[in-house]
């Protein structure tokens, strides 16, 4: 019996071929085989929004080969990825191979697997099914929706902002988050505040067995009023403070320091308790991208590319998933591994079960995990490049740690009052790791801050009292991790789209990365302002989230995609008509302290297809241009020349010596320059 198996990639085909015999021919499509032509809208608005797909030019040869093989095959197995996009690719391939009923439809079968292992492939072959039309319709609706928004709004951007610009449905919302954060930062008014610390020592020859025989205490209350009124916000890899504090002037702080100098202190309370830290769930797509960005600085696109290869090589389960659950079989394997490798003391009495918090966990039924838990990074390191080994190790550790015991931490807080006219209360915190539990495997170690033994009522002497000035800080700019987290929390896009959302707005030069954080460009600000002013209902987080919910409903068979498109398009069309008379948005230009060599007018920074460049401010009257050199205050450690910001061919920024090619020094981060 002849079986034709069709997958997307050569790597996937190569891995699957290891598990199937001579009766199976495995071929790949190299991804999508059909798409909407770029030269026109390609959506039939008069015929239920029917997409007018065409075979992609460089896939015609592949389709011809598949047609030839299909004619001589008894069964055609469509084995594309287990999600909406994979279902749509299979539907397109089936449509092309049917070729007007030249091949019988009952030859086609769809098989789905979430890991590329021999067991999973053979199990999938036992359960073939027909194509899921609901998943196909959901993907079609997304494609049509994005095409309508992009192709209808983009011409308006050409007219009202600048030629060559384009808009995207979910990308525009991400741009809005970044632009609005930038305005928050610009408007933020810094405030000064002070903190007071006391270095306290035991008296009566009871020396502390700590560094310098002393412990640092922080002032927390004055006459019962808490002084730390700063509101602290953690924006995932970035913290900021706002608000006011009792100690808001230097005079208040210095008066307290004077009053407390040489004053004795007394311990009034000691609070001891044991705290537990529990492991995090295994990775879903969004959390994998966030952690890879935070730990390794990987953009989402790179993380997904690496994960794709790990999946196709059969090392991890499918990497596009909202789920944080593990199958019972996988849990049993992990628990057995923990018991054998680390001992029973690290194994909880019962398996840990995690619940997906997303309203609609789609596609993959499991979290991302290694397919063989016995394959540690040391086992596979020889097969993988460094970046692939790093990501695999991250996934492996998170999976195993998720089934380990809690870490136990003994926490101690010592409260001491100063003997002064007012009641000044100070506090010192200490913690000791009693049992490491899952922390044995996680990258972040917990540092002990053990306090010496104190007794209630004992007197302490002050070795040093000091006030320290601080400033409230503005919200940090988004980085890959915090932007992906925000998109997920707001329901914008889905795990498989986060990487493309970010790469699209960076590729279009709407935002740029500065020290791994996103800053909107002048073009990005102009585009955002135009969209917010004229398409506030579309360029809006709740609207985009509702669209995603509607697509989920279509995928689940509870909503018709044509009805959903009709509901969207009628008001959208009216909105388009009303924007024709909107005012043009000016792109802010940065004027340089430099004159045009041709006409003497000021030079300005403009944005082109390939990024920033220097142009005469009188353009188009004067057409002088030159490349923009972004200077820094850094000095090259090799030859002492200035460090400038450069770009790779793919647009990634790095630091390089201005005297290149005489000096070839380059670095990705400022820290790398300082280290050298």
Q: Which domains does the chain have, with CATH numbers?
A: 3-131 (3.40.50.140), 150-188+477-579 (1.10.460.10), 192-278+407-471 (2.70.20.10), 285-401 (1.10.290.10), 589-628 (no CATH), 630-676 (no CATH)
Q: Which of 110-114, 444-448, 526-530 has the lowest mean pLDDT?
A: 444-448
- Contact 366/325 with Cβ under 8 angstroms? yes
Q: How far is CA 364 from CA 43, 85, 89, 463, in A?
A: 30, 12, 17, 60
* Residue carrying structure tokens 């699957």: 16
* pLDDT for res 363: 52
pLDDT band at 590 (very low <50, low <70, confident <90, very high): confident
Q: Could you give the C-alpha distances from 509 to 166, 400, 501, 548, 655, in angstroms and in order?
A: 11, 40, 13, 26, 19
DSSP assignment letter at 103: S
Residue 336, pLDDT score? 97
Q: What is the pLDDT of residues 373-417, one digit of tens each?
A: 999 999 988 888 899 999 999 999 999 999 999 999 999 999 999
Which pLDDT belongs to residue 360?
46
User: Please, what is the Cα angle at 444 between 441 and 446, to 5 degrees?
Assistant: 100
Contact 110, 133 (CB under 8 A): no
Please tell me whether residue 117 adopts helix, strand or coil conformation: coil
Give the angle subtended at the CA of 354 by the CAs of 552 and 307, to the nearest 5°. Answer: 65
- Best CA proximity match to 470, nearest among 257, 672, 240, 280: 240
- Mean pLDDT over residues 15-36, rounded? 95
pLDDT of residue 653: 78
Active site residues: 318
Mean pLDDT of 488-507: 91
Which residues, in sequence order, are bridge partners of residue 400? Answer: none
Residue 447 has pLDDT above 80, yes or no: no
How far is residue 662 CA from its own chain's centroid? Answer: 38
Q: What is the pLDDT of residue 675?
A: 59
> For residues 337 and 403, what is the distance between their CA atoms, to the nearest angstrom?
10
**3-state percent helix, strand, coil for the chain, nearest multiple of 5:** 40, 25, 40
Q: What is the mean predicted confidence (pLDDT) over 79-101?
A: 93
Q: Which pLDDT tens digit goes with each residue over 287-307?
A: 999 999 999 999 999 999 999
The confidence score (pLDDT) of residue 212 equals: 46
Does 526 have pLDDT greater than 90? yes
Q: Are 415 and 268 in contact (CB under 8 A)?
A: yes
**CA–CA distances in Å: residue 184 to residues 64, 187, 484:** 55, 5, 19
pLDDT digits (tens, 9 = 90+) for 186-200: 999 888 889 999 999
* Distance in angstroms (rounded) separating the CA atoms of residues 425 and 157: 60
What is the arithmetic mean of pLDDT over 216-244? Answer: 76
Whether 207 has a pLDDT exceeding 90, the answer reads no
In a 3-state reduction of DSSP, which class is residue 467?
strand
315-325 per-position pLDDT tens digit = 999 999 989 99
Which residues, in sequence order, are CB contacts of 665 under 8 Å at separation 6+? 636, 637, 638, 639, 656, 657, 676
Distance between CA atoms of residues 283 and 367, nearest Å: 6
Classify strands 75-78 and 3-7 as parallel, antiparallel or unpaired. Answer: parallel
From the list 156, 277, 4, the residue with the least C-alpha distance to 533 is 156
Asked whether residue 362 carries a pLDDT value surpassing 90, the answer given is: no
Most confidently modeled of 325-339, 419-433, 505-519?
325-339
- Contact criterion met (CB below 8 Å) for 546 and 492: no
Please report the sign of the dihedral spanned by the C-alpha atoms of residue 333, residue 334, residue 339, residue 341: positive
Least confident of 327-336, 487-496, 564-573: 487-496
Mean pLDDT of the chain: 90
Coil, helix or strand for 27? Answer: strand
Confidence of residue 210 (pLDDT cuts 50, 70, 90): very low
Who has greater pLDDT, 401 or 626?
401
Q: How far is it, in rounded angstroms, from Cα 63 to Cα 93? A: 8
What's the whole-number mean pLDDT along residues 2-27?
95
Q: Is the peptide bond before 199 cis (omega within 30 degrees of 0)?
A: no
With pLDDT > 90 as the criterion, what percentage of the chain qualifies? 67
pLDDT of 282 > 60? The answer is yes
Residues 6+ apart with CB under 8 A from 331: 351, 352, 403
Q: 561 Cβ partners below 8 Å, 6+ apart?
A: 137, 138, 140, 141, 554
**497-527 b/e (C-beta count within 10 Å ≥ 16 → b):** bbbbbbbbbbebbbbbbeebbbbbbbbbbbb
Q: How many residues does the chain have?
A: 676
* CA separation for the pair 424, 222 (Å, rounded): 5
Long-range contacts made by residues 7-13, C-beta under 8 angstroms, separation at least 24? 7/79, 7/80, 8/80, 8/81, 8/86, 8/89, 9/312, 11/309, 11/312, 11/313, 12/116, 12/312
Nearest to 337 by CA among 395, 288, 401: 401
Confidence of residue 211 (pLDDT cuts 50, 70, 90): very low
Query: How is 237-267 classified by DSSP, letter by letter?
Result: S-EEEES--S--SHHHHHHHHHHHTT--EEE
**What are the tokens at 598?**
């041709």
Across 532-553, average pLDDT: 90
The region that residue 119 occupies, defined by phi over 0 for left and psi between -120 and 50 for alpha, beta otherwise, is alpha
SS3 label, residue 359: coil
Residue 651, pLDDT score: 64
- Please give the pLDDT value at position 361: 43
Interval 557-579: pLDDT, tens: 999 999 999 999 999 999 998 89
Residue with tokens 């136990």: 408
Q: Is the pLDDT of residue 676 over 70?
A: no
Give the pLDDT confidence of 119-160 residue by residue, as tens digits: 999 999 999 999 999 999 999 999 999 999 999 999 999 999
- Over residues 261-274, the pLDDT tens digits come to 989 999 999 999 99
Q: Which of 333, 327, 323, 328 is nearest to 355 (CA)?
A: 323
User: Average pLDDT of 540-552?
Assistant: 91
In tens, the pLDDT along 418-435 reads 988 889 999 999 999 999
Query: CB–CB of 322/334 below 8 Å?
Result: no
* End-to-end Cα distance, the chain: 64
> So what's the pLDDT on residue 231?
63
Q: What is the mean pLDDT of residues 109-116?
A: 96
């Amino acid at each position: 019996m002849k079986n034709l198996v069709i997958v997307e990639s050569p790597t996937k085909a190569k891995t699957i071929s290891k598990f199937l015999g001579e009766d199976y021919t495995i071929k790949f499509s190299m991804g999508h085989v059909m798409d909407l032509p770029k030269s026109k809208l390609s959506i039939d608005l008069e015929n239920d929004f029917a997409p007018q797909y065409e075979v992609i030019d460089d896939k015609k040869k592949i389709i011809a080969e598949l047609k030839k093989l299909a004619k001589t095959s008894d069964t055609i197995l469509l084995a594309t990825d287990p999600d909406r996009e994979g279902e749509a690719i299979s539907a397109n391939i089936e449509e092309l191979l049917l070729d007007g009923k030249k091949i019988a439809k009952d030859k086609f079968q769809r098989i789905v697997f979430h890991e590329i292992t021999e067991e999973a492939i053979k199990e999938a072959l036992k359960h073939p099914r027909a194509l899921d039309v609901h998943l196909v319709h959901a993907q079609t609706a997304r494609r049509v929706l994005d095409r309508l928004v992009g192709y209808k709004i983009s011409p308006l951007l050409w007219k009202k902002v600048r030629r060559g610009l384009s808009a995207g449905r979910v990308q525009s919302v991400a741009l809005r988050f970044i632009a609005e954060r930038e305005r928050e930062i610009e408007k933020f008014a810094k405030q000064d505040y002070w903190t007071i610390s006391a270095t306290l020592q035991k008296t009566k020859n009871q020396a502390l067995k700590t560094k310098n025989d002393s412990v640092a205490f922080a002032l927390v209350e004055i006459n019962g009023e808490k002084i730390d009124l700063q509101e602290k916000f953690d924006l995932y890899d970035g913290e900021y403070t706002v608000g006011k504090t009792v100690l808001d002037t230097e005079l208040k702080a210095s008066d307290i320091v004077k009053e407390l100098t040489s004053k004795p202190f007394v311990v009034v309370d000691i609070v001891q308790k044991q705290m537990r830290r529990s492991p995090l769930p295994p990775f879903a797509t969004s959390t994998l991208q966030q952690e890879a960005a935070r730990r390794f600085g990987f953009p989402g696109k790179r993380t997904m590319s690496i994960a794709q290869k790990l999946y196709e090589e059969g090392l991890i389960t499918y990497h596009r998933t909202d789920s944080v659950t593990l199958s019972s079989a996988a849990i049993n394997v992990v628990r057995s591994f923990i018991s054998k490798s680390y001992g029973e003391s690290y194994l909880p009495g019962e398996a840990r079960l995690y619940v997906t918090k997303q309203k609609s966990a789609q596609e993959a039924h499991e979290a991302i995990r290694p397919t063989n838990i016995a394959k540690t990074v040391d086992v596979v390191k020889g097969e993988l490049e460094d970046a692939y080994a790093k990501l695999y190790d991250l996934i492996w550790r998170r999976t195993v740690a998720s089934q380990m015991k809690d870490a136990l931490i003994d926490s101690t807080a010592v409260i001491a009052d100063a003997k002064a006219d007012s009641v000044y209360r100070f506090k010192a915190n200490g913690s000791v790791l009693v049992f490491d539990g899952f922390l044995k495997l996680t990258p972040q170690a917990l540092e002990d801050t053990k306090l010496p033994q104190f007794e209630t009522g004992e007197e302490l002497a002050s070795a040093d009292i000091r006030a320290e000035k601080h400033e409230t800080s503005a919200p940090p700019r988004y980085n890959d991790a915090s932007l992906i987290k925000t998109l997920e929390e707001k329901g914008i896009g889905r795990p498989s789209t986060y990487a493309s959302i970010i790469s699209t707005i960076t590729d279009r030069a709407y935002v740029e990365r500065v020290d791994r954080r996103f800053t909107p460009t002048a073009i990005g600000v102009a585009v955002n302002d135009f969209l917010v002013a004229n398409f506030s209902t579309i360029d809006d987080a709740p609207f985009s989230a509702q669209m995603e919910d509607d697509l989920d409903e279509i995928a689940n068979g509870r909503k018709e995609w044509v009805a959903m498109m009709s509901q969207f398009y009628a008001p959208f069309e009216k909105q388009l008509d009303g924007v024709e008379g909107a005012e043009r948005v000016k792109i802010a230009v940065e004027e340089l302290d430099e004159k045009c060599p041709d006409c003497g007018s000021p030079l300005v920074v403009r944005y082109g297809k390939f990024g920033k460049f220097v142009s005469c401010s009188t353009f188009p009257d004067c057409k002088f241009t030159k490349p923009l050199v972004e200077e820094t205050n850094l000095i090259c450690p090799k030859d002492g020349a200035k460090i400038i910001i450069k770009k790779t061919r793919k647009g990634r920024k790095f630091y390089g010596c201005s005297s290149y090619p005489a000096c070839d020094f380059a670095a990705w981060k400022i820290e790398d320059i300082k280290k050298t």
